[in-house]
Chains A and B, each alone.
Chain A
Amino acid sequence: DSGVTQTPKHLITATGQRVTLRCSPRSGDLSVYWYQQSLDQGLQFLIQYYNGEERAKGNILERFSAQQFPDLHSELNLSSLELGDSALYFCASSPRRISYEQYFGPGTRLTVT
Chain B
Amino acid sequence: QKEVEQDPGPLSVPEGAIVSLNCTYSNSAFQYFMWYRQYSRKGPELLMYTYSSGNKEDGRFTAQVDKSSKYISLFIRDSQPSDSATYLCAMRTNNAGNMLTFGGGTRLMVKP
Contacts and interface: CB of A to CB of B under 8 A. Distances in A.
Nearest to A99: B98
Contact of A48 (B32, B41, B44, B99): B99
**Size band of the interface chain A makes with B:** 20 to 34
Contacts of B105: 42-43
B45 A104 contact: yes
A23 to B, nearest CB: 11
10 contacts: A2-B45, A33-B98, A45-B99, A55-B98, A56-B97, A99-B98, A103-B45, A104-B36, A105-B43, A107-B42
Interface of B: 2, 32, 34, 36, 41-46, 49, 51, 88, 96-105
B102 A42 contact: yes
Nearest to A9: B41
Nearest to A109: B41
Nearest to A39: B104
A53 B109 CA distance: 41
A42 B104 contact: yes
